[in-house]
């Protein structure tokens, strides 16, 4: 089981982590990544999206279909979606 320094079922915490991950895919972007800006506006192409989805999968231990990144085109929307998916799959405490 993967251990996190944050709770990936809490959208705000997951959003912060996703923002940091996206920034790693955007080395030429000098301003902070805006979690409410569409990822396509940053110039992420389909290859980067597939790599990003695989990275998120590896870190979160859940399947992330790359199309989810187009279906939830901002980090904030993606975080809400993924947090809900992870919460649904987590055993009740």
- Residue among 21, 35, 22, 15 at smallest CA distance from 80: 15
Query: Percentage of residues in the chain with pLDDT exceeding 70?
Result: 91
Q: For 41-81, how does the pLDDT look when each residue is reduced to its tens digit (9 = 90+)?
A: 998 888 888 999 999 999 888 889 889 988 999 999 999 99
H helix count then E strand count, the chain: 4, 0
Taking domain 11-88, whether its CATH number is 1.10.1200.10 is answered by yes
**pTM of the complete model:** 0.85
Residue 13 confidence (pLDDT) above 70? yes
């Amino acid at each position: 089981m993967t251990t996190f320094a944050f709770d990936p079922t809490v959208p705000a915490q997951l959003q912060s982590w996703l923002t940091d991950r996206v920034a790693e895919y955007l080395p030429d972007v000098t301003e902070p990544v805006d979690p409410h800006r569409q990822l396509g506006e940053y110039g992420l192409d389909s290859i980067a999206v597939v790599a990003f989805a695989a990275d998120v999968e590896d870190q979160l231990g859940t399947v992330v279909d790359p199309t989810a990144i187009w279906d939830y085109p901002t980090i904030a929307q993606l975080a809400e979606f993924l947090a809900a998916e992870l919460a649904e799959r987590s055993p009740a405490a």
